[in-house]
A = this chain, B = another copy of it.
Amino acid sequence: DSNPTADTGTIKLAVIPGDGIGQEVTAEALKVLEVASPAGVKFEQTRYDLGAERYLATGEVLPESVLGEIREHDAILLGAVGGKPNDPNLPPGILERGLLLKLRFELDHYVNLRPSRIFPGAASPLSNPGEVDFVVVREGTEGPYTGNGGSLRVGTPAEVATEVSVNTAFGVERVIRDAFARAQRRPRKKLTLVHKTNVLVHAGAVWWRLFQEVATEYPEVTTDYMHIDAATIFMTTDPARFDVIVTDNLFGDIITDLAAAITGGIGLAASGNVNPDRTAPSMFEPVHGSAPDIAGQQKADPTAAVLSASLLLDHLGYADAAAAIETAVIEDLAARTPGTARRTSEVGDAIAARVSG
C-alpha cells in the first residue's frame, strides 16, 4: 500500500465516537494510536458528535456540511452508533441508514474488511476450533443494504413492504477483484464465495459469473463456493478451513458476527470500511454496537476499537505501526487472567504500554 500522507507527516483524522460504549472504546483506540504512530507522524483530530444523542437533541443525523468536512480527512475512526433499544423517539434505521450506512455509501466503502483470528488466550465457544485466521471481504455499497423498496398501506392489514437487493456487475466485480488480490497475497491463497445462488438466482448469477471470470486471472488462488446456510455450519465445525471469504453486504453482516463469536467474541472484532481507490477517506470501527446497557461504566473491552486503529494505520501505509498494535494486543490477551475484569481504560493503558515499550 502506498502512504498518501507520508510527505506531510500529518494525518487528518475524523473521530466519531458515537454513542454508549463508543465513547469509551474510542478514547482507548486514540490513546494507542498516539503511542503507535511512527516518529514524525502527527494525528490532527477533528471530533464529530454524531449519533443518537445529537439526533435526539437536534433532529440532525448527518448534515451535508458535516459530511463535506469529513470527506476532507485522511481516515475516520468510529466508535459505535445507536441509542437505547426500542426508544420510541429513535425508530430503527434512523441512525443506521442515516449515519453509518450513509457514510459507507457516500464515501464508497465498497470493501468492508473483517479479519477473524483466534488469538492466543481468547475464549472460543467451540471446543476444537483449530487455527483460525481468515478475512471476510464484505461488499459495502449495494445488495440488500441500498434501502431500495418501500411500503404500501402502512399500518393496515393490507400492508405490503418490499426490500430490493441491488447487485451491479460494476459493484460485484470490484469487490471480487479486491478479494482475489488479497487471497493472492496470503500464504494459503484460498478464496470462498458465499451466497445463496440456488434461491437468489438473479443476484446469484452475477456474483457467480464474475467470480468465475476474475478467477481465471488468479490461477494460483484456489476457489470454493458455499451457500450462506452451509457457511454457518462450517463456521462452527471447521472454521480453520477459511482463508478469504467474499460475500454480499447482508451475508457478510451475518457471517462476520458469527465469525466474531467463534473467535472469542465481538469484543475483539475489528473492521475497516475501505475505499480501495482512495477517492474518499476509509472508516475503521469495531464490529460491536453501542451497548447502551453497559455504557459509561468502563466495562467495555476496547480491544476491537484498538484493532480497528491498527487496520487504519495499515491502510494509511504504516504497516509496522499497525503490526506493533496487533502484537501488543496479542500479548495483552495472552496475559489476561480469566475471570478478572479490567476497566476499559486499564485495557487501553496496558496495550499502549506494550506498544511504547
| Partner-B contacts on A (CB < 8 A) | 82, 85-86, 92-93, 96-97, 101, 125-128, 144-145, 147-151, 153-170, 173, 196-206, 208-209, 225, 228-230, 232-233, 235-237, 250, 253-254, 256-258, 260-262, 265-266
Known: A229-B253, A232-B261, A236-B236. A201 touches B92 (CB 8 A): yes
Q: Give A267 to B234 CA distance when docked, in angstroms.
A: 14
CB-based contact A162/B229 at 8 Å: no
Q: What would be 23 A-B contacts, judged by CB atoms less than 8 Å apart?
A: A85-B225, A92-B208, A93-B201, A96-B199, A97-B199, A97-B201, A125-B236, A126-B126, A148-B162, A150-B202, A151-B205, A153-B169, A154-B205, A157-B173, A160-B166, A160-B167, A163-B200, A164-B164, A164-B165, A196-B250, A233-B257, A237-B261, A237-B265
CB-based contact A165/B144 at 8 Å: yes
CB-based contact B160/A163 at 8 Å: no
CB-based contact A157/B169 at 8 Å: yes
In the assembled complex, how far is the CB of residue A343 from the closest CB belonging to chain B, in whole angstroms? 23
Contacts beyond the supplied A159-B169, A229-B253: 9 A-B pairs with Cβ under 8 Å: A149-B203, A156-B169, A161-B167, A161-B168, A161-B206, A229-B256, A229-B257, A232-B261, A233-B266
Interface of A is mostly: mixed
What residues of chain B lie closer than 8 Å to A232, measured between beta carbons?
Answer: 232, 254, 257-258, 261
Q: Which residue of B is nearest A85, CB measured?
A: B225
Q: Which residue of B is nearest A237, CB measured?
A: B125
What residues of chain B lie closer than 8 Å to A209, measured between beta carbons?
Answer: 155
CB-based contact B92/A204 at 8 Å: yes
What residues of chain B lie closer than 8 Å to A164, measured between beta carbons?
Answer: 149, 162-165
Partner of A161, one of B86, B126, B203: B203
In the assembled complex, how far is the CB of residue A294 from the closest CB belonging to chain B, in whole angstroms? 15
In the assembled complex, how far is the CB of residue A338 from the closest CB belonging to chain B, in whole angstroms? 14
In the assembled complex, how far is the CB of residue A94 from the closest CB belonging to chain B, in whole angstroms? 9
Partner of A168, one of B97, B159, B229: B159
Q: Which residue of B is nearest A208, CB measured?
A: B92
CB-based contact B202/A162 at 8 Å: yes
CB-based contact B201/A147 at 8 Å: yes
CB-based contact B167/A165 at 8 Å: no
Q: Which residue of B is nearest A129, CB measured?
A: B125
Q: Which 7 A-B pairs have the closest CB atoms?
A: A229-B257, A93-B201, A127-B127, A232-B258, A159-B169, A161-B202, A233-B261
CB-based contact A151/B202 at 8 Å: yes
CB-based contact A163/B202 at 8 Å: yes
CB-based contact B162/A167 at 8 Å: yes
Q: Which residue of B is nearest A260, CB measured?
A: B233
CB-based contact B93/A197 at 8 Å: yes
CB-based contact A233/B258 at 8 Å: yes
